[in-house]
Chain A
């Protein structure tokens, strides 16, 4: 099974990007519906997170598709890597901020824009710094460490919220999803930084990532179904 997966790695990567892109699109549409009804800032940042995840994976899919067709201009690699990294890191920031926005903004006077406001501008700036560092170092080290750091906090916050409100069944799943995301980022970092892109580890990371996105999708669909 692993051999077949490794042999068809490039094609599978293509479908993986497309599949996660579609999952994100469904989550964005569903959470946007909730946001329009409630005008709740937390829902808005949650929606933005999956919008950015979706764009990141869509970019990855289209670039992968071009490469699969045999057309591989060298500059596409470096630009798409930066675009992918930008959206992935920002998505992590949005997920994190959706959990803490109440401590920063006043509910009665929330920031007017969820894409351009003082807090999000700081995240953009940090993201650009991480991308620049990765461009200089030639890898994804800054991205890995930023995401591991962010999801450690996000998992901690969601665990605290789960302990506070045990009656909410999905908070347990949400904490699990956050913890799995943290594990996926850690394994991904280890695979790239220590094990020199070991195929077996990379495939396991992809599967783990897929499970995480499916968990998020399950939660959103379960709550928003009529």
Chain B
């Protein structure tokens, strides 16, 4: 059985998917994140609140997510953040 992902790993995975696609629709991101709709909603709202991602609408009025600078920085330093949080049991 697969190990349950840590919170930081889930955040990393969501941000990575957005980074790879540059812009992504909410439903696609939900499928890629492997989360329940409620969990997905919680994570996305947390990431938006923290300024890691933002949503926008294209000309047709369709909603997309894209990464902000904070999100890029998080991915760049992910290993260090993960080590810090895990090693100090935070």
Q: Which residues of A contact B (CB under 8 A)?
A: 31, 34, 37-40, 42-43, 45-46, 98-99, 101, 107-109, 157-158, 161-162, 165, 168-171, 174, 219-220, 223-224
Contact = CB atoms under 8 A, between A and B. Distances in A.
Q: Is the contact region of chain B dominated by helix, strand, or loop, or is it mixed?
A: helix
B64 interface: no
A22 B49 CA distance: 34
Given A108-B43, A108-B46, A37 B81 contact: yes
B88 A219 contact: yes
Given A158-B89, A171-B87, A219-B87, A224 B80 contact: yes
B87 A38 contact: no
Contacts of B86: 165, 168, 171
A39 B53 CA distance: 13
A114 B43 CA distance: 21
Given A108-B49, A170-B83, 5 more contacts: A46-B88, A107-B7, A108-B46, A171-B86, A224-B80
A31 B26 CA distance: 33
B85 A42 contact: yes
Given A37-B77, A38-B74, A38-B81, A170 B88 contact: yes
Contacts of B81: 34, 37-38, 40
B36 to A, nearest CB: 14
Contacts of B49: 108
Q: Is the contact region of chain A dominated by helix, strand, or loop, or is it mixed?
A: helix
24 contacts: A34-B77, A37-B73, A37-B74, A37-B77, A39-B50, A40-B8, A40-B85, A40-B90, A42-B85, A42-B90, A43-B90, A98-B90, A99-B90, A107-B46, A108-B49, A109-B46, A157-B89, A158-B89, A170-B87, A170-B88, A171-B86, A171-B87, A219-B87, A223-B80
The 8 closest A-B pairs by CB, nearest first: A42-B90, A170-B87, A161-B89, A108-B46, A108-B42, A38-B81, A39-B50, A223-B83
Given A108-B43, A108-B46, A43 B85 contact: yes
A34 B73 CA distance: 11
Contacts of B88: 42, 46, 98, 170-171, 174, 219
Interface in B31-68: 42-43, 45-46, 49-50
Nearest to A45: B90
Contact of A168 (B42, B46, B77, B87): B87
Contacts of A46: 88, 90
A78 to B, nearest CB: 36
A168 B89 CA distance: 10
B32 to A, nearest CB: 19
B87 A174 contact: yes
Nearest to B90: A42
A83 B85 CA distance: 30
B84 A31 contact: yes
A54 to B, nearest CB: 17
